[in-house]
Amino acid sequence: MNIVVCMKETPSTTAEKSFSPDMRLERRKEDAIPNPFDEYAIEEGLRQQEKHAGSTVTILCMGPATATDTVRKALAMGGDRGVLVSDDALAGSDAISTAHVLAAALKKIGFDLVIFGNAAADAYGGIVPSATAELLGAPLLSYASKLDVDGSTATIERQADIGYNTVAAPMPTLVSVVKAINEPRYPSMKGIMASKKKPLDTFALADLGIDPATVGAAGAREKALSAEKVSTQRKGEIFIGNEGAADRVVAFLVEQKVL
Amino acid sequence: MSNDVWALAEIPSGKLANISLQLASKAAELAKALGGEPAAVAMGAGARDAAQDLGACGVSKVYASEGAVYGEYLAQPYVATLAALIQQHQPKLVLWGGTNFGRDVAARVAARLGLGIEYNVNEVALDGDQIVMSVPAFGGAQTVKMAFQGEGTKLLGARQNAFPTVRTGGSATVEDVAAPTAPANGAKITGTFGTEGAQEAGHLGKASDGHDIWMPAASRAKLEEAQIVVSGGRGLGGPQGFAQIEDLAAALGASVGASRAAVDAGWIPYGHQVGQTGKTVKPTVYIACGISGAVQHKAGMGTSSLVIAINKDKDAPIFGFCDLGIVGDLNVVVPQLTAAVKQRKGQ
Ligand SMILES: Cc1cc2nc3c(=O)[nH]c(=O)nc-3n(C[C@H](O)[C@H](O)[C@H](O)COP(=O)(O)OP(=O)(O)OC[C@H]3O[C@@H](n4cnc5c(N)ncnc54)[C@H](O)[C@@H]3O)c2cc1C
Ligand SMILES: Nc1ncnc2c1ncn2[C@@H]1O[C@H](COP(=O)(O)O)[C@@H](O)[C@H]1O
């Protein structure tokens, strides 16, 4: 089985983040990590590979040229090779452009099973997986908390409004996973060493036959106008001690017309 | 293109979701300002019946499409219907809600038709013809103002509870829309489990892979839709601590949330996690019990109208963004509060 995991590079949670004057996220290479949600996708790819002998796992990332380091961080968990799509014209791409690029790369790589995280920890979009599925004319088994592949069918469990659903799709299919699906492994020392030698191809837009004018800032359908710090003006009343605390809360709820 | 503004309705288990009323209310407001018609698109079982509530929130037309196919597949049939309607009527804006359903459907429609799409929108303002949206960035520490560019219908994704429900008391005409045929290679729903006893609060059992199935009481709102949320963190000291939280939530008619520390400890299932890697809530009142107030937790509850914190550490960060902070022992204060609320409500 040809398994591809889509992994986005995101700034680490604790990194100082800011916008540049042209309203792009200022990315510092040393702060970049694989999107924490994509660790579940990578782990699931590796578990499927362990279950299905002869499978390969490719980590696919669209990002800046320096994201090779981030792809290698992902490959330290496991997997056979990395593919980075990188091109200066991609800077400022919106989610739909990203989906176009991933869809074209997936066609070029070939796939039976593509695994996504359910969202990226930078902007919490969560729309790239289904947009990519649409462009490939493929099904998406979204928000999977369990995945089984049997012959030419993939089946997931996902939380429904009440209880859970099982959902099945014919392969090739795309899947997006939630945190509940597994516990990602930590890269071992051996894994980190091995990742340095794994094949890592870089594709430019020309390799995918994509017109640079349709992606990146040039093709974006949305633009950022300005950013401002959020000031929360909360009352911040502090009540010290257990004695009378419950009554103060009730009085507060009554004052606020909640009770 | 018209100046019409649509709301994408969501009808899980045949019951219109609260977010749909919020979107319908906003669609009505924006359509009025733009001089277009407000409408809603409702698909699946209950679509025609949903027109009454959607109309009461100000939309004058509901495109209703019913058919078994909607209950059988994820996203794809909804996408087929919505994309065809958009192509036919060219509304200016389609509002969709930031739920799993909303993301799956809206992203496919945007990809299919090449439309602009924005998500996690908290506020919308019109600046002449330009639609200016406020979107949180960096875990809510900043607000970014976004605008669409280019031609065509735009898809605007709103956060849960971003817009209030405004019942103006109008009514909508229903335009029936035929359901599409089943997708050739669809994601097909093949079964449902874990619904037994869903009326009861609490633990329903285990899924086939061992994870817990936990259901809030049917009478209680979903976490994202709740007007009051009572959340517990590591300060509860163990899973039994959630019994106190449950009691207080029941007395207040609230939903139960949790910090990641409590979820990771296995005290409560992941579906209750509030924060950067959990759910985003925006209730009228958020009561944090034994939660320190890490930035990642704040990212999921920082826009609640009122925050009450109960924590024994006076230096806990949560006291930096609450309206009422109780420096005390939750094991004493929470049961007393439950009793006081019950007394006040005459329960
Ligand atoms: C990538 C990433 C994503 C994350 N996502 C999330 C997320 O989505 N949601 C989330 O919540 N966290 C998230 N976290 C974790 C977050 O950083 C914190 O570790 C977590 O929120 C802490 O949970 P807590 O407040 O319950 O525990 P603690 O920080 O341990 O706080 C417990 C508090 O309880 C108080 N306490 C103890 N006993 C009592 C008592 N008897 N009475 C009153 N108070 C008492 C203590 O004073 C303390 O302040 C994330 C972290 C990372 C790195
Ligand atoms: N630039 C990218 N490269 C590879 N995968 C991506 C990229 N952007 C998004 N994804 C995938 O899509 C998921 C959702 O991302 P998003 O829609 O950006 O929140 C992520 O968890 C990744 O699996």
Q: pLDDT of B80-104, one tens digit each?
A: 999 999 999 999 999 999 999 999 9
Asked which of B159, B176, B193 is the last residue of a domain, the reply is B176
The domain tally of chain B equals: 2
Note the pLDDT of residue A2: 98
Q: Is B340 within a domain?
A: yes
| Cα B39 from Cα B18, distance rounded (Å) | 17
Ligand 2 centroid to residue A116 C-alpha, Å? 7
| Cα A226 from Cα A223, distance rounded (Å) | 9
Note the pLDDT of residue B136: 85
Helices (H) and strands (E) in chain A, counts: 8, 14
Helices (H) and strands (E) in chain B, counts: 9, 18
**In terms of residues, how long is chain B?**
347
Interface test with A, best of B326, B341, B344 (most A CBs within 10 A): B326
Q: Is B182 within a domain?
A: no
Judge whether B268 and B211 are in contact, CB under 8 Å: no
Note the pLDDT of residue A15: 65
Question: Which ipTM value was assigned to this complex?
Answer: 0.84
Query: What is the arithmetic mean of pLDDT over B170-177?
Result: 97
Note the pLDDT of residue B202: 45
| Cα B121 from Cα B267, distance rounded (Å) | 32
Question: What are phi and psi for residue A29, nearest 5 degrees?
Answer: -55, -40
Q: Which two tokens stand for residue A88?
A: 């200066």
> Which of the ligands is closest to the CA of residue A39?
2
Q: Is A64 within a domain?
A: yes
- A141-145, B87-91, B297-301: least confidently modelled range: B297-301
Identify whether residues B140 and B233 lie together within a single domain: no
What Å distances lie between residue A207 and A108, A203, B107, B330, CA to CA?
9, 6, 26, 60
Judge whether B151 and B145 are in contact, CB under 8 Å: no
Where does A129-178 show beta strands of DSSP type E?
A: 140-144, 146-150, 153-159, 164-170, 173-177
Q: Which residues pair with B192 in a beta bridge?
A: A165
The partner residue sitting opposite A164, judged by closest CB among B186, B187, B194, is B194
Identify whether residues B167 and B225 lie together within a single domain: no
Identify whether residues B150 and B251 lie together within a single domain: no
Identify whether residues B18 and B164 lie together within a single domain: yes
Q: Is B185 within a domain?
A: no
Rounded to 5°, the CA angle A47-A50-A52 comes to 110
Identify whether residues B207 and B170 lie together within a single domain: no
Identify whether residues B171 and B218 lie together within a single domain: no
A125 closest CA partner among B106, B83, B226, B75: B106
Higher pLDDT, A123 or B69: B69
Handedness of CA A173, A160, B210, A75 (dihedral sign): positive
Query: What is the arithmetic mean of pLDDT over A131-140?
Result: 98
What is the distance in angstroms between the Cα of B112 and the nearest Cα belonging to chain A?
6
Residues B105-154: pLDDT tens digits?
999 999 999 999 999 999 999 998 899 999 988 767 788 999 999 999 99
Query: What is the arithmetic mean of pLDDT over A63-74?
Result: 95
Q: Is B115 within a domain?
A: yes
Note the pLDDT of residue B271: 82
Residues A145-175: pLDDT tens digits?
999 999 999 999 998 877 789 999 999 999 9
CATH at B171: 3.40.50.620
For residue A172, say if its preceding peptide bond is cis, omega within 30 degrees of 0.
Answer: yes
Confidence band for B276, pLDDT divided at 50, 70 and 90: confident
Identify whether residues B20 and B55 lie together within a single domain: yes
Q: Is B198 within a domain?
A: no
Handedness of CA B223, B224, B229, B233 (dihedral sign): positive
| Cα A37 from Cα A217, distance rounded (Å) | 26
Judge whether B31 and B15 are in contact, CB under 8 Å: no
Residues B182-201: pLDDT tens digits?
999 999 999 988 765 443 33
Residue B324 structural domain? 203-345
Identify whether residues B38 and B142 lie together within a single domain: yes
Note the pLDDT of residue B9: 98
Identify whether residues B151 and B99 lie together within a single domain: yes
Note the pLDDT of residue A106: 98
Does the Cβ of A165 fall within 6 Å of ligand 1?
Answer: no
Residue of A nearest to B106 (CA): A127
Question: What are phi and psi for residue A224, nearest 5 degrees?
Answer: -85, 135
| Cα B66 from Cα B45, distance rounded (Å) | 6
Query: What is the arithmetic mean of pLDDT over A231-258?
Result: 90
Ligand 1 centroid to residue B239 C-alpha, Å? 15
Confidence band for B240, pLDDT divided at 50, 70 and 90: confident
Confidence band for A16, pLDDT divided at 50, 70 and 90: low
Q: Is A230 within a domain?
A: no
CATH at B246: 3.40.50.1220
Query: B130: helix, coil or strand?
Result: strand
Asked which of B131, B157, B176 is the last residue of a domain, the reply is B176
Q: Is B196 within a domain?
A: no
| Cα A130 from Cα B103, distance rounded (Å) | 8
CATH at A85: 3.40.50.620
Confidence band for B221, pLDDT divided at 50, 70 and 90: low
The partner residue sitting opposite B107, judged by closest CB among A130, A157, A250, is A130
Please name the amino acid found at residue A89.
A
Identify whether residues B294 and B157 lie together within a single domain: no
A165–B189 CB contact, under 8 Å? yes
| Cα A147 from Cα A164, distance rounded (Å) | 13
Judge whether A165 and A158 are in contact, CB under 8 Å: yes
What is chain B's mean pLDDT, rounded? Answer: 90
Identify whether residues B170 and B290 lie together within a single domain: no
Residue A78 structural domain? 2-219
Q: Is B193 within a domain?
A: no
Q: Is B53 within a domain?
A: yes
| Cα B113 from Cα B83, distance rounded (Å) | 7
Does the Cβ of B309 fall within 6 Å of ligand 1?
Answer: no
The domain tally of chain A equals: 1
Residues of B in contact with A135 (CB under 8 A): 111
Task: Tell whether the model's pLDDT for residue B301 goes beyond 90.
Answer: yes
Residues B7-65: pLDDT tens digits?
999 998 888 998 999 999 999 999 999 999 999 999 999 999 999 999 999 999 999 99
| Cα B244 from Cα A2, distance rounded (Å) | 49
Residues A94-112: pLDDT tens digits?
999 999 999 999 999 999 9
B125 touches chain A (CB under 8 A): no
A153 touches chain B (CB under 8 A): no
B23-42 residues touching A, CB cutoff 8 A: none
Where does chain A show beta strands of DSSP type E?
A: 2-6, 9-11, 32-34, 56-62, 81-85, 113-117, 140-144, 146-150, 153-159, 164-170, 173-177, 200-203, 222-229, 237-240
Note the pLDDT of residue B220: 56
Residues ≥6 apart with Cβ < 8 Å to B315: none
Identify whether residues B96 and B219 lie together within a single domain: no
